[in-house]
């Protein structure tokens, strides 16, 4: 009887705890998350062609929560332990509500190139939050490379936007802080539960707020359904808000929050590429030079030990 109880306990632990993954596969998953996130700003710009900012953010969160809720119910995933709910609330406040709303408000008056500044600073901010929250201590080489990469991306994106600070920048810097907090807490939770469940439960947790906000916003903001607006809405809901965060959190759990966050140094440049292809924006000759500098920084941070 005692042996049977022990076996049951071991089985329960195996189900509750995600199996460790190879670092290479974790890097691939984090990179896929970066690609998904790099499309967020262009897709948001498309969505704003037919939706108001509050409608776009609320509806995307509701749609993503429906996808997550169906998956959680279909797989009969049990409710998270009570000790995990505060962390899920931080994830919800940061990446489900705060970052999408603040960046969407910024994109009403800012270009995608200008908004990319927040993504350029996000890896460094996430690493700082991680050091404070999780207790990670990256090496000095890691920090030098991270600061150099962040400085390169920041200089590029500010130069692209003319160097002027606007009201949109206040939204962007606030988004930077709340998103870094959400990423850090999500990466910590992804060590004890599958990454898709982290974002899934965070989305479901926000439903009591997002559903009434969506209904109210749709009633007061004009809606114009076009191919662009619908495609943008579907991408930010299914791609950025759910699928991208699933692979992102799994990647962070596998290779660590600081190193995963440095992969995002490439995100502003990817966003600018999508902006050219999807929005018709133009890049300067500084883009390939910045890309080379960022890739060097990413290589150094991935090889450094901390």
pLDDT attached to residue 77: 93
User: Is residue 219 domain-resident?
Assistant: yes
User: Is residue 221 domain-resident?
Assistant: yes
Number of domains comprising the chain = 1
User: Is residue 12 domain-resident?
Assistant: no
User: Is residue 1 domain-resident?
Assistant: no
Domain boundaries, position 94: 28-304
CA angle 174, 264, 235 (to 5 degrees): 80
Least confident of 155-164, 168-177, 263-272: 155-164
**Closest by CA position to 271, among listed 122, 109, 146, 95:** 122
User: Is residue 163 domain-resident?
Assistant: yes
pLDDT attached to residue 269: 82
For 187, the enclosing helix (H) or strand (E) is: helix 167-189
User: Is residue 9 domain-resident?
Assistant: no
pLDDT attached to residue 4: 41
User: Is residue 14 domain-resident?
Assistant: no
* CB contact at 8 A, 203 and 68: yes
Distances from the Cα of 176 to the Cα of 81, 124, 125, angstroms: 29, 10, 8
Q: Mean pLDDT in the chain?
A: 84
pLDDT attached to residue 227: 95
C-alpha count within 13 angstroms, C-beta hemisphere, residue 128: 13
The pLDDT tens digits for 169-186 are 889 989 989 999 998 898
The pLDDT tens digits for 2-56 are 344 433 333 333 334 444 556 578 889 989 999 999 999 999 999 999 999 999 9
Contacts of 178 (CB under 8 A, 6+ apart): 93, 94, 98, 99, 102
SS in 3 state form for 88-145?
HHHHHHHHHHHHHHHHHHHHCCCCHHHHHHHHHHHHHHHHHHHHHHCCCCCCHHHHHH
Least confident of 62-66, 83-87, 140-144: 140-144
pLDDT band at 287 (very low <50, low <70, confident <90, very high): confident
Rounded Cα–Cα distance for residues 82 and 197 (Å): 15
């Amino acid at each position: 009887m005692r042996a049977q109880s022990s076996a049951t306990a071991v089985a329960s632990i195996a189900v509750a705890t995600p199996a460790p993954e190879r670092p290479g596969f974790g890097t691939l998953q984090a990179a896929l998350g970066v690609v998904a996130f790099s499309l967020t700003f262009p897709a948001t710009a498309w969505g704003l062609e037919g939706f108001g900012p509050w409608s776009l953010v609320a509806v995307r969160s509701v749609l993503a929560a429906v996808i997550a809720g169906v998956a959680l119910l279909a797989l009969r995933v049990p409710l998270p332990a009570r000790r995990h709910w505060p962390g899920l609330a931080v994830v919800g406040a940061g990446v489900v509500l705060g970052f999408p709303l603040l960046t969407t408000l910024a994109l009403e008056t800012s270009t995608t190139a200008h908004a990319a500044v927040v993504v350029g600073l996000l890896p460094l901010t996430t690493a700082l939050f991680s050091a404070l929250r999780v207790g990670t201590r990256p090496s000095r080489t890691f920090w030098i490379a991270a600061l150099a990469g962040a400085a390169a991306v920041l200089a590029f994106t500010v130069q692209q936007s003319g160097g002027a600070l606007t009201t949109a920048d206040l939204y962007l810097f606030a988004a930077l802080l709340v998103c870094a907090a959400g990423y850090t807490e999500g990466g910590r939770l992804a060590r004890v539960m599958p990454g898709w469940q982290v974002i899934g439960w965070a989305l479901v947790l926000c439903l009591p707020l997002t559903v009434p906000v969506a209904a109210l916003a749709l009633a007061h903001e004009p809606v114009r359904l076009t191919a662009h607006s619908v495609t943008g809405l579907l991408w930010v809901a299914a791609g950025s808000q759910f699928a991208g965060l699933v692979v992102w959190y799994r990647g962070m759990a596998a290779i660590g929050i600081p190193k995963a966050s440095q992969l995002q140094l490439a995100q502003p440049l990817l966003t600018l590429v999508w902006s050219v292809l999807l929005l018709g924006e133009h890049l300067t000759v500084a883009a390939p030079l910045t890309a080379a500098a960022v890739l060097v920084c990413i290589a150094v941070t991935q090889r450094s030990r901390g």
